Amino acid sequence: MNFKRLILPVFLLVALSATAQNKIVVNTDLGKEKISRHIYGHFSEHLGRCIYGGYWVGEDSDIPNTNGIRNDVVDALREMGIPNLRWPGGCFADEYHWMDGIGPRDERPTMINTHWGGVTENNHFGTHEFLELCNQLDTEPVICGNLGSGTVQEMSQWVEYLNSGNISPMTDLRKSNGREEPWGVKYWGVGNENWGCGGNMTAEYYANEMKRYSTYTKNYGDNRLYRVACGPSGADYHWMETLMRDGAPGRSFQGISLHYYTVAHSWGDKGSATDFDENDYFLTMSKTLFMDELLRNHINIMDRYDPRNRVGLIVDEWGNWHNVEPGTNPGFLYQQNTLRDAMVASVNLDLFNNYCRRVKMANIAQTVNVLQAMILTKDDEIVKTPSYYVFKMYKVHYDATLLPTDVESEFYSHDGERIPAISTSASKSEDGTIHITISNIDPNEALDLTCELRGLENVSFERGEIITGEKVNSYNDFGEAEEVSSASFSDVKVNGNQLEVNLPAKSIVMLELR
């Protein structure tokens, strides 16, 4: 992909003058699509210290816990808002055999986590522990089944174990392990990255396998599975075309995934999470904006085969991928998290909001201690990352009506290249409250912005929040005062239905209006 060209998100009308007025028009009377809260979902894999030490410490740990799950992590994620959690992978999912993770923990067999560090997995965190975690988080479980190395029978029996209330061997097995009633798990991934670590399959081969496996993932009682087919990696439009044409969309699957990670340089050298210059920052933001092109092109394919919009686009792996922190296991993917990561989160969430007609779920990778994490842990300490504060800020959009926006934006220019400086999305809650999230991507210049709420005569500014930091590589660390968090924002002037807003450089702002 050539990043020398200008990258223009489809929902932006970007002025071509370097001295352009920065203006957002929010069409308050045109909203019709709902922003699903599941766009703000998360992903946790058996990888590094995400599960063990991240969530799970065991009942005998000195770290305060409830049924083996750390209280501080649960409290922080509940405060942030976590509508769903995807598990057990990732690449791990297609080598995971669920029956190894049930029953008495001291009797569970071990396995080697061949994808992530070659460490021994003791299976102490399995189906019951995951669903206990979801219960404590008050979140929807999203389980990814093993299509790569598993069998149809194995996947079918896992669904039955989870969801059946009938008299059957799987129901009896669940009850013998201490769970009387079925959980009623709805969201079910039919394999993961089967074009790569999940089996290196062709799109045509996977489409047939997916239909076969999907046939035997049954509905039980009133619960209706929402099956997520493995979709493409990045710009693999052939994969999307094949699945939408041959995979029986709407019957065999109700959602199809998309994976895209923002990698600043190359997969061989992704760059430091904290030690980077403006060249790295600009490249990261440019590559993040490529998500717009991916969404637009994949949705166009989906629209041709599914004009009734029955199938959701599920962006169930996304986020920044940097080099691991020096001195850590390269297979554990532990990286710090800066204001740059927060900017990447805000831009992607704005895109998902604006494409919510088709984007029904997304899962940032990964929740604790891995990749673009919300929380970092060390022994009994935790850190809330800059990305954590973005997700906490953006939960005002949960299940609200998307308000279409038109944007004129200056460019953020660097080294002869340029991208739009402003990212935004807007929504209206059931009680009529309007929320606008706006990011100034430019790390150097503040922007004066006019915001018109078309369809209203008068607007009342209720409150505002801002996320920023001294530098784009500011971050929060153990034992130190937070360098990036959320603060009150009030640099807003109201005149009828127009706002005048001053956006500081490298900032993310939320405005609440009535």
- Strand ranges (E), 274-320: 312-320
Is the separation of the CB atoms in 351 and 357 below 8 Å?
Answer: no
Q: In whole angstroms, what is the distance from residue 467 CA to residue 489 CA?
A: 9
Is the separation of the CB atoms in 441 and 286 below 8 Å?
Answer: no
In sequence order, the β-bridge partners of residue 251 are: none
Q: Which residues contact 251 (CB under 8 A, 6 or more apart)?
A: none
> Which residue type is seen at 275?
D
Q: Is 73 helix (H, G, I), strand (E, B) or coil?
A: helix
- Strand ranges (E), 242-311: 255-262
Token duo for residue 106: 């001291």
Is the separation of the CB atoms in 509 and 472 below 8 Å?
Answer: no
Using CB atoms within 10 Å of the CB of residue 442, give its burial: 0 to 12 exposed, 13 to 18 middle, 19+ buried: buried
Residue 410 appears among annotated catalytic residues? no
Catalytic option among 193, 209, 408, 465? 193
Is the separation of the CB atoms in 165 and 222 below 8 Å?
Answer: no
Using CB atoms within 10 Å of the CB of residue 166, give its burial: 0 to 12 exposed, 13 to 18 middle, 19+ buried: exposed
Catalytic option among 129, 140, 317, 465? 317
Q: Is 94 helix (H, G, I), strand (E, B) or coil?
A: helix
Residue 317 appears among annotated catalytic residues? yes
Q: What is the 3-state secondary structure (H, E, C) of 226-242?
A: EEEECCCECCCHHHHHH
Name residue, tokens 């935790």. Answer: 382
Q: In whole angstroms, what is the distance from residue 196 CA to residue 202 CA?
A: 9
Is the separation of the CB atoms in 410 and 20 below 8 Å?
Answer: yes
Q: In whole angstroms, what is the distance from residue 181 CA to residue 188 CA?
A: 19
With CA atoms as reference, report the closest residue to 351 among 365, 340, 362, 337: 362
Catalytic residue annotation: 193, 317
